[in-house]
Amino acid sequence: MAPVPQEGETVVQNNVGDATHRSKVTVIGSGNWGSVASKLIASNTLRLSSFHDEVRMWVYEETLPSGEKLTDVINKTNENVKYLPGIKLGKNVVADPDLGNAVKDSNMLVFVTPHQFMEGICKKLAGNIRADAEAISLVKGMEVKMEGPCMISSLISQELGINCSVLMGANIANEIALEMFSEATVGYRQNREVAERWVQLFYTPYFIVTAVQDVEGVELCGTLKNVVAIAAGFVDGLDMGNNTKAAIMRLGLREMKAFSKLLFPSVKDSTFFESCGVADLITTCLGGRNRKVAEAYARNGGKRSFDVLEAEMLQGQKLQGVSTASEVYEVLSHRGWLELFPLFSTVHEISSGLLPPSAIVEYSEKLPRSF
């Protein structure tokens, strides 16, 4: 098997596979990003002999306005008409509303659902997956438990007893669906061969994937940048201009790095210069749903809640930044770190209605000199 690239290196695809030990893939999630992930993966499983052609995609069943089931429409039209309209997923993508059936016989599990649903999904899967299964998480967010924060990759590993890598990057799903050039980062723990397998599964000429041995660093970048994007949306909603937004992004990157290294000292500085780091932060603060809804929140002076705006603006998709800001705030408060992270703290206080949106540029006065 070809070696995994080091940080910053590009992978060359490998077409050689053992047909007697072909991997079977299930994508757990079928929203906007889940559908795009299925499209990427399906194009590669057809081409690479080391994978079964069929890609199962678990769908949380919904009834469309037409009265039809979403799963039936996806399988009939080869298109997720609700979350990724106008894009063909690949004839080898099979939507399945039964979670247990969707993962049956699969040894490569791709998790891509809103993070607040992950614990329930894992509990349903426990004891119902192959013992040799490998997982990868595309989920942004964390669970905050009594004993402290738990990354989604750790939650998957603990609940299912399997290894879990992560994939994060500057990945606005609709652009990748249109096959615009993009990059992503796989974070892995120990097994370089497993990491290479994930790279092969996702890599296309328009979706360049590299691997780094830093699961926590990659995952925290993907998680925390949504908090910074909320701040960037506030700036846009208040028409504060590009200089202010750039300052917020710089301060946000600094807090992302500091928070990550306080929680996990093993996190590498170089990870923040991968696609999952500074690139994802930039694209999420320029586009994406978190910035968009935060802008609307600020334009309404904080008088309309994020829940209401999410329901109006996202057609069933979920925000991640507001809930992540709340979870981060809980960690900071519990550990006595609030003063060390004024941007993260202020984003939560604005989002929860404790401060007005204009406070986003006032927080810097609280910045400790020693930070």
Residues 232/235/241/247 CA torsion (nearest 10 deg)? -50
Q: How would you class 269 by CB atoms within 10 Å of its CB: exposed for 0-12, middle for 13-18, buried for 19 or more?
A: exposed
Q: Tokens at residue 168, please?
A: 């994060």
Residue pair 256/281 in contact (Cβ under 8 Å)? The answer is yes
The span from the CA of 110 to the CA of 134, in Å, is 9
Phi-psi group of 338: left, alpha or beta (phi > 0 → left; psi -120 to 50 → alpha; rest → beta): alpha
DSSP output for 216-282? HHHHHHHHHHHHHHHHHHHHHHTT--HHHHHHHHHHHHHHHHHHHHHH-TT--GGGGGSIIIIIHHH
149 strand-pairing partners: 144
- C-alpha closest to that of 211 among 252, 257, 165: 165
Q: Which of 140, 225, 245, 257 is catalytic?
A: 225
Quote the strand ranges of the chain, DSSP E.
23-28, 51-58, 93-96, 108-111, 134-137, 142-145, 148-151, 164-168, 182-187, 207-212
Residues 187/212/256/219 CA torsion (nearest 10 deg)? 0
CA of 150: how far to CAs of 54, 210, 230, 338, in Å?
32, 25, 22, 19
- 225 catalytic? Reply is yes
207 strand-pairing partners: 182, 204
The span from the CA of 81 to the CA of 238, in Å, is 34
- C-alpha closest to that of 5 among 221, 133, 260, 188: 188
Catalytic residues: 225
